[in-house]
Structures are given as C-alpha cells and as structure tokens.
Structure 1
Amino acid sequence: MADIEGTVRPGFEQVRDTFAAVADGAAQLVVYHRGERVVDLWTGVDGDSLLGAYSATKGAAHLVVALLVQDGVLDLDQRVRHYWPEFPADVTLRDLLAHRAGLVGSDEGFSREELADDRIVAERLARQRPFWRPGSAFGYHALVIGALSGEVVRRATGRTIQEQFADRVRDPYAVDFYLGLPAELEPRFVSTQPMVRTPERQLPLPAANSLSGIAFNRHRPGSPEVWELPNLPEVRRLGSASFGGVASARGLARMYAAAISPLDGESPLLKPETAAEFAQIQSIGHDVVLREHKAFGVGFHVTSERYPELGQGSFGHSGAGGQQAFADPRNGIAYGYTRRRVPFPAAAAPENEPLIKALYSAVRAVEARG
C-alpha cells in the first residue's frame, strides 16, 4: 500500500483507505461535498504539486462557454458561422461542442509549436474540409476542440478563452488550475512519466493516416506522443484549451465545486438550468475517432454514463494522463484526481472506479447520519 499524506473529514476514512490501496505511484485526490472539502490526499508528490491536466483542460474551457451562454453572449443553437464567418462546417455551436463538426485535424497535421497555439490551430482548421458530413456523426476532436470553441469565444467577446477562465473562474475562486502556466509557478510543475508497456499491453495503434491517426496528429512526422504534451514548455506556457492546462487535484475539484455549490460565501458559477443543459447528452453511441461507445454533453463528458454511482446530470472531463474530474449537482459532489504516470491505455485511470465507489458509499453513510 502507498504511503498517504493529507486529510479526510470524519466519515470519509474509507476513501483514504481505498486511495492507499489503489494509488499507482504519484497521485492526488480531492473531493468537495456541498461546498466543503472533505478529502485532500496525495502520495509521491506534494498536495500543491501541479501536473498536466491533459483533456481535463476541456472542462475548464467549456465552463467558460457555459458562463457565456448563461450570460446570453453565446447561443448554443446559433450557427458557428454567425460568430466566425470563415468556419468551414455548417453546424450550430451545440453541434461543435458535441464533437459533430468533423474537423478533428488537418490534412497535413501540426508541428508541435503549431499544435500548442490555439490561434494557429483555429486558423488552419478554418481552411480544412470536414472529415465527415457535419452533424451526421460524432468523433472526439481530441487535440483541437478547445481551439475551435476558443475561437468562437474570441470572436464573440474579443478575449481568449484562457483570459476569460483566469478572470471569471481561476482568480475569483482561487482555483489552482492554469490555462497558461506563469513562469513563477514552473517550480511547482511535476513532469509526466510515460506509460509502462508490457507484452500484454502492446495494442495495435491506428494507422497514421486513418481518421484516428489524423485526430491525434500521428500523421505529422515528429509529432510528440500524447503523454509528452504537458512536458513541452510551449504547451504549458500557451495553455491550449484542448490539452494544455496545468492543475493540482485541488484545482480540478475546486473548479467543479465552484461551478455547482456555494463556495466561501460565493454563489455557484452556474445556475442549475445551465448546468443541466451542458450535462444533457448530445452525442451518444459509436465515436468514429475513438472507435468505441462514448457519450458527450455540451463540451463535457456525461460522466454518469461511465460511473453509475453518479447522479443524473453529472458532467466533467477526464484526461489521457489518468485524470478524472467532475461535478455531480444532485449529490453536491465535486471530484478531482490526477496522477504522474500515464496509464495504459491513456485515459481516465482505472483506480477512479474503486475510488468513486468508496466516495459514494461514504457520502450515503454521512448523509444517513445527518
């Protein structure tokens, strides 16, 4: 069992015990329940260490979109071309955020410097023919969705999605999550370690020029592996809204707590009806990029489709480095988990399942006692 540091509130001891049993190397776990931090655990890193967020970054980016929809600045059922006339797919903003636009990459791919820069990615994709008839199917826009939604935000507001996140979420709510890591915080960053491949884990990769290969930029010579992305200084500095965020588990969980719960005297960021709309299933079934069953809300994963313990209306986003982060408004839970070593396959780490089961068991017991 791992040596665990940190604290849990009375009643949540089984979460600590499960974390000690399943943590795979360096990891952090933080949980809020009804606006109060009830779990704050770590092993192998410090509690305030910053790690690459990978695609959990998309949750931060699309929280900004949700706020702008709530404000009436953006309309989910407006055509993307209303905000961005050069956009090559005739779809609504809702379709774009549900991964239905067909713009998963570019024919020639992106250099590592280009991939890190959302403005360059958006400019290139504005000239790209979609890879399927927009709206007819869905597929994970893994490395580019934040650049696309971010360009809509920039066109509508004159400010980047990274600036909006800092001003509306990170700074007022003291969220330890950065879309663009300041140089003075670099000493807190812990580099990601590659997954460990063993003979039984040698799965065939999709062809570089397949749809999956294009979506993950594998057709571009010299493209970095997904696990390497947070280790690239330009990725951390620019904070790509698809994968470039840097956070602690405290930051992941606090962001979702701020979204749905009163926090330190502040009202929740999202009205219940906004949270419900963004959590509602928009695309479900066969993902033509990932080649597996997936469920997407508006910019978020429908997390309850993966973890049945969660309440209906839960939303969040996992990351290839093993991260899992979500809000469960019905149960008042905000969850953040991150780890240093990328799991195999790259996705939400398998230990999240027993951790979430232990958490919900603890919550039920605590609430039953009143």
Structure 2
Amino acid sequence: MSSSATVHGSVAPGFEAVRAEFAAVAAADPGSGGAQLAAHLDGRPVVDLWTGEGMTGSSLLSLYSSAKGAAHLVVALLVQEGVLDLDEEVARHWPEFAAEGKAGITLRQVLEHRAGLIGVDGGFSTEELADDRRLAARLARQKPYWEPGTAYGYHAFVIAALTGEVVRRRTGRSIQELYEERIRAPYGLDFHFGLPAGLESRYLPVLAARPTPEQQAAAGPAPDPDSLTGIAFNLNATPPTDLVEFAGDRAVRALGPASAGGTGNARGLAALYAAAAFGLDGRPPLLTPETVAEFGPVRTAGVDLVTGERDHFGLGFEAQSSRYPFLGPDAFGHSGAVGAQSFADPRSGVAYAYTRRRFIFGAGGGAPENHRLAAAVLRAAEAAR
C-alpha cells in the first residue's frame, strides 16, 4: 500500500473490519486526495479514521450540500417545538414570496423540493450564492419553473435560503445563528456555517475531479444551461458556477450559505447525526422519534426532475433508505458534492459520516464507496449490539 493510502485513527473493538474496508477503499484510489470516516453507535464514537497526504481527523473540508442536513435539523427542531407549521404558506411569514403565483406554496412543499423554485432566470453571481439573504430576495421575485406541488426537483443551491428566510421571518434569527447557538457550539461540533478565520489553517481546498476518457464519454454532453438541471446548478449564470472555485472563495466559507456552504469533517457530521437521533455527551436526542418519522422517510416518490434520482427526499433531508437499502426506512441525512455522505439510521443506532477531498466524476449523491463503507459499519454495529 502506498503512503497515500496509509490509514490513521482508531476503531472500537468489534469494528476492525471497518478499518480494513476503509484501507481497501484508500488503496484502490490513492489519488483521492484523502478521506475521513467517522461513526457513532447509540451516541458512542466507534470509528475515527482518515487517510491521505496532509489529511488528519481534524482537517476541515468543503462539504457542500452536507450543509442541508445541518440546516434542516434546525427546521425540524422548530417544527417539533411548534414554532413552524409545515402546512402554513411560506408567504404568511414572508409576504414578498407570494409574487409570481407562489402564494399557496407551503413550507412542507419547499422541504420536499416541490416548490419549482430551483433558481432564477439568468442565474446567480457567486456573491449572491454566498449570501442566503440575497438569494432569498431574488427567489421571492422569481416565477416557479413548474407548477408547485405537481413534481419535485433538487433545489441544489437554494432550498435552505428559502427555508432559512421563513426561519428568519418567524424567529428573527437566521438558520446559521440558530445552528451555532443551539447545536454546533453546545456540542462542540466541527461542522460550521461560516468558518472563522482562525480555523482556516485546518482547511484543505477541494481538488477537481479527473474523469477518465471512458467516464467522460459515458456522461455525455454537459447539461443545457437552460434545462432544469442547468438552472438548478447555476449553469445559466454568466459565467456558470464552477463548484471548485465556489468552495475556494473565502467569502463562501465565511458566510456559510446553508444549502451548499458547510465546512467541516467526518467527526463533526457523525456527531451531528448522533446528537440528532441518539443523544450525545449524556444529553437526550435533539429530535423525538415522531419528528424523525415525519422528516426522514421518502416524501417525494417518483423521478427527480433535476437529478433523475427516484424517491429522493424526506423533508429537507435525503431519504437514505432509497440509496442504501440496508438502512431503516427512517434513516435521514444528506450527501455533499465531493462524494461526502452522512446520516443517522434509527433502526441500527448508527450515525455515519464519510468525507473526501477530491470530487469523484459523476458521483452525485455520495461517492460509490459509501455503499461498502456504510454496509461495513452496519455489520459491525449489528454484531456489537
């Protein structure tokens, strides 16, 4: 095994096979730029591994849409507490949102990616993508790209700007502020909305994907900028958004847009989902089983108009059992563009997080190795309980 595939860190007794699987994944892809794997079982850390030149367990990475999971944990808490009502119209708290036929859109429809508001005509600038308030202002004026409620499609750059503006109008606080005050700081989580300048020394920049000619040919032509996929990923902007450049912008990391601007590591994400579903540091879980049962299972049956995935979402979270059939029906979490994946599986008691530094070409929805790694964690967890 090359030095770049050397595995560091520790596992609890009974989880040695997880370390071996992680080592096999690393050896098969020594050019990955490094990766991290962390897991908790019933709120107890059992896996903490990393590999790659310059990578440590505390290295901070751009984890893109992993942010959606943290943001919608805040929304789930507010629904659980009765502060937000899933079936209230968004415009009740945000009157400007009613423009262009959007008066009837509910918070539930937004969380299910059914609002049809995947972007704006002409696209966003990077400065706008970095700032949820600016995104929300433009989205309020935009006409939906399909009739709300009739279909669903991934609101890639915008969903947490939409839900976040509802949160701000209802509470006077942003999702980022509530996450920091109620979740990140109390638990000391290494997953951030708005990376402080003092932590930049631990940040490792994203590395671009390197597709093989075969992968490039199989992928076919790039999406039409004016297609639903192009609009959702801001390819209709001038210039179109480059995800590596987006993450490399310090303003994006500093502001922490809640749809795609999370910065952290596998330790932070695994602890986040442990705190959400199982409890952490002697505290009870943040979410009740009833809230998990509302937010976790598939709520969007059928084909995603943007990504082509089937049965993609719960409420704000990705429904993980559709992607990983060995998980329970209430498993909830979110992937990130570099191939990251993180979730809680109430049935097994597992909170899982995998992060990596280099994009995998065409691996939207979590890198393929997550199937191997998550299955290994689940097998070890079942044997340990």
TM-score category of the 2 structures, normalised to the smaller one: over 0.9
Match of residue 35 from structure 2: 27
Match of residue 237 from structure 2: 220
Provide the aligned C-alpha RMSD in A: 1.1
Distance in 1 separating the partners of 2:244 and 2:76: 28
Equivalent AA in structure 2 for residue 176 of structure 1: D
Distance in 1 separating the partners of 2:264 and 2:354: 10
Match of residue 344 from structure 2: 327
Larger displacement relative to structure 2 (355-364 or 170-179): 355-364
Larger displacement relative to structure 2 (281-290 or 224-233): 224-233
Unaligned runs of 5+ in 1: none
Unaligned runs of 5+ in 2: none
Establish whether residue 15 from structure 1 lines up as the match of residue 18 from structure 2: yes
Q: Helix, strand or coil for the counterpart of 2:49?
A: strand
- TM-score in terms of structure 1 length: 0.97
1:94–1:298 CA contact under 8 A, matched in 2 = yes
Equivalent AA in structure 1 for residue 343 of structure 2: F
Runs of 4+ more than 3 Å apart: none
Aligned with 2:132 (options 118, 137, 145): 118
Alignment of 1:308-319 (within 5 A): 308-319=325-336
Establish whether residue 277 from structure 1 lines up as the match of residue 267 from structure 2: no
Establish whether residue 247 from structure 1 lines up as the match of residue 264 from structure 2: yes
> Cα offset for 1:366?
1.8
Q: Helix, strand or coil for the counterpart of 1:48?
A: coil
Match of residue 195 from structure 1: 209
Cα distance change of structure 1 residues 294 and 225 upon mapping to structure 2, 3 Å threshold: farther
Distance in 2 separating the partners of 1:36 and 1:7: 13
> Cα offset for 1:356?
1.2
Distance in 2 separating the partners of 1:261 and 1:364: 16
Q: Helix, strand or coil for the counterpart of 1:108?
A: coil
1:112–1:223 CA contact under 8 A, matched in 2 = no
2:343–2:351 CA contact under 8 A, matched in 1 = yes
Q: Helix, strand or coil for the counterpart of 1:338?
A: strand
Distance in 2 separating the partners of 1:144 and 1:179: 15
Match of residue 157 from structure 1: 171
Distance in 2 separating the partners of 1:136 and 1:169: 34
Q: Identity of counterpart residues, as a percentage?
A: 57
Q: Helix, strand or coil for the counterpart of 1:313?
A: coil
Distance in 2 separating the partners of 1:178 and 1:363: 28
Establish whether residue 358 from structure 1 lines up as the match of residue 376 from structure 2: yes
Equivalent AA in structure 2 for residue 332 of structure 1: G
> Cα offset for 1:262?
2.4
Establish whether residue 137 from structure 1 lines up as the match of residue 147 from structure 2: no
1:194–1:228 CA contact under 8 A, matched in 2 = no
Q: Helix, strand or coil for the counterpart of 2:312?
A: strand
> Cα offset for 1:293?
2.0
Q: How many residues align?
A: 367
Distance in 2 separating the partners of 1:192 and 1:148: 26
Q: Helix, strand or coil for the counterpart of 1:298?
A: coil
Distance in 2 separating the partners of 1:104 and 1:121: 11
Aligned with 1:65 (options 52, 75, 83): 75
Distance in 1 separating the partners of 2:357 and 2:286: 29
Distance in 2 separating the partners of 1:309 and 1:141: 27
CA deviation vs aligned residue, 1:12-31 (integer Å, no higher than 9, x gap): 00000000001343000000
> Cα offset for 1:212?
1.0
Q: Helix, strand or coil for the counterpart of 2:40?
A: strand
Match of residue 296 from structure 1: 313
Match of residue 206 from structure 1: 223
Equivalent AA in structure 1 for residue 37 of structure 2: L
> Cα offset for 1:159?
0.6
Distance in 1 separating the partners of 2:177 and 2:68: 15
